[in-house]
Each structure stands twice: as structure tokens, then as C-alpha cells.
Structure 1
Amino acid sequence: MLSLSEENYLKAIYHLSEQGKTNVSTNLLAEHMGTKAASASDMLKKLSQKELIDYGRYQGANVSESGKKMALQIIRKHRLWEVFLVEKLKFNWNEVHEVAEQLEHIKSPLLIKRLDEFLNFPKKDPHGSPIPDEHGEIKEKPQFPLAEKPPGFEGLVVAVKDPGNHFLEYLDKIGIYLGAKLKIVDRITFDGSSEVIIDNKKTLFLSKEAGANILLSE
């Protein structure tokens, strides 16, 4: 059984490797976790001894097959709790991440099974991220960062890459939500920002960073 800290590190390594950083360096992990490199190095050794990551000094780390399965179960719990908090307790989507960070460490498999049933087996969390099933499988349709699609592209907002409070508050303020229809009108060469129309009504400009965090489907 893993400690709370070990679970947090394992999940972080999984997320960082999923972002294209196949071998997660000690410094990158320490920066992500807001800790010192020495602390991150000690944790990498612990997780390696438990065969949850493949780790070599100066080579970085990546989750092993067993580590991936465990990380996906933690993510499953986190996202199910987010659905519960929004749908049943009426939290806003920008209020649930920190609470779910605490709830994801509950160990009871039966509780999570009952929670999934109670919520009618949701496929996505309130931010549009897919919820792994009880076997750790993820099924999702192709998603594209808005910033990577050309002018003329039309799609639905299906997820956000950054579930941080500030970004979600920003989306609420400008009227972008999951399910919104966006059409890319123009791409500004100078700074990579995008001119978009929301639901065929409202026109606004999105920075390159915002466009990279908003995921669309066709």
C-alpha cells in the first residue's frame, strides 16, 4: 500500500510522461511537486524499489506497467469525486480539484465502485477529461488544442488541459464552457492568438496559451 505522498508522486510522473516527457527528470518532477530535487530523488528511489517506475540516475523516470495501472486508479478516483462534487454537491468546476486531491486517497475499492454506480458510470469529469474504467482503460474521441487548428475550423469544447482555478475562472468570465461551439475566424501571426466566435454569437480573442489549453472535437 502506498502512502499519500507516494501516490501523489506516482500520479505526477504519469501525467508528466503523458505530456510527451517520456523520461521525467528529477528536476522537472521537483518543480512540478514544488519541492527540492533531493526530496524528489529520494521518492524516485522508493517508487523504483516498489517496481512502480523505471528509473535510472541521470536517465529520468517513467511509470512501469504496474505503476501505470495504479496511477490510473488514482486518477479514476479523483475524476469520479469531481463529478460527485459538481453534480451532487453543486460545486463549481473551478472549486473541485483541491477537494478531489484529498478524496482520491481513500483506499476502499467498494466505495469507488458504489460511487461509480451512484453517478451512473460517467465517462468524463467536469473538465472533460476521460474517467478510466475499473480496469484502468480509457476510451475517448480525438481532441485537438484550439491553437493547433486553422481558421475556418468549427468544433465543440470537450475538455481543458489546465484545470487550475484561475484558468477555469477565466473561461467562466468570457463565456466558454464544455459543449460550447467555437469557430476559429482568424489566427494572429504576431502572437499566435485566435479570433473565435462562441455559439455563433459572441466574438472574442484568445491568447496562444489559452488556445493551447482548450480542447475541441469535430
Structure 2
Amino acid sequence: MIDVYTANTPNGIKVPIALEELGLPYRLVRIDLSANQQKQPEFLHINPNGRIPAIVDSDGPDGEPLNVFESGAILWYLGEKFHGLLPLDPRERVSAMEYCFFQVGGVGPMFGQAGWFMRQSSPIPLAVQRYQDESRRLTAVLEARLQVQPWLAGRSYSIADIMNYGWLRQLNYAGVDAANYPAVEDWLARISARPAVIRALAKLAN
């Protein structure tokens, strides 16, 4: 059994989606971010960085429980262990890795900062402009990729799509107009229609 410590956020939805796609049993443990549960000793034992999501796999590599934190590491671990959501083609596998790190190092931080600065009571225009521009640039990179490939890794739906979906489904949070990125819009619609994604989002919403 896999325990998933998470919340209904752009990063928090990734692991339940992946587990639903893989058809694996899991227990959803909701973390109340407003109450700072992610900073409490019990959670810091699982993730010393004090961020969601994190998992505890009761059947780790040596048969003992294994804690895994950071969404990219979790999805890669699940894909490796359960032989799904990682392309078999070696070139596509590298592409999946590239777009996972693209999200970790670019999309997540830039979208997050854009949304945060936009919503301050005393906005800092230079900061808003900087992070919105970068969010638009990153979305344009994905647009170019999705104009020539159905999925970010190539022909295969993978953890790369799940990683980026969490943030891209809320483009307006970062001040990005989805209408300017038709291939991204189509990609988002196809992911949103997947039964596993629908199930995961419904569980997180309840």
C-alpha cells in the first residue's frame, strides 16, 4: 500500500493522478496547508523539506517502508517500479525526463511566483511582469512541442504530461491566456478527459 500525503494544489494532484493511471491502491492522507501540517514533526519525518506531496511505500526496495518526497522523484519512482508512464523507447524516455525537469525547474517556480505576486495587496509591477513573461515563454515552449507531438515525451503519454498538467490546467493563475496556445489547450482537454485523471481530481475535491 502507498500512503500519499498531499493536498488539492497544482503539485499535490500529480501523485494521485499517476497512481490512478497505474491502477494502484493507495491511501490519501490530506495535509491541511492552512494549518501548517506540512511543517509538523510527523510530516517532516517523511519529507524534511516540509512540502507536499510525499509518499510512504510500505513495500520499498528491500521490503521495508520507503519515504519519497518531491513530485518529480515520486513519479519517476512509481514509473520505474510499476513499469508504467515511462516510455519504452529510449529517446522518448529521455524526452520524458527532460520535460519533467522542465516543469520542476521552470513551470512550477515561475507559475507559482507569477500567481503569488499578482495576488498581493500591494503588487510589485516589475516582479509581476517578470514572472508572467517567463510563464508565457515556458508555455510557448510546450506549445511548440505539442504542435509536433501528441504528448510531451513524443507518442507516449507519460509522467512528463502529468508533471506539467498540474500547473498548466490553471494558466490564468499565472496570467497566461490559454487562447494563445491552442496545442496546449487541446493537450489539457485530452488529459482532463482521461478516466484516471477524473477519478483522482474527484477524490481530491471531496
**TM-score calculated relative to the size of structure 1:** 0.26
- Greater relative contact order (Cα 8 A, min sep 6): structure 1 or 2? 2
From the two aligned structures, give the one with the greater helix fraction. 2
Which is greater in Rg?
1
**TM-score calculated relative to the size of structure 2:** 0.27
From the two aligned structures, give the one with the greater strand fraction. 1
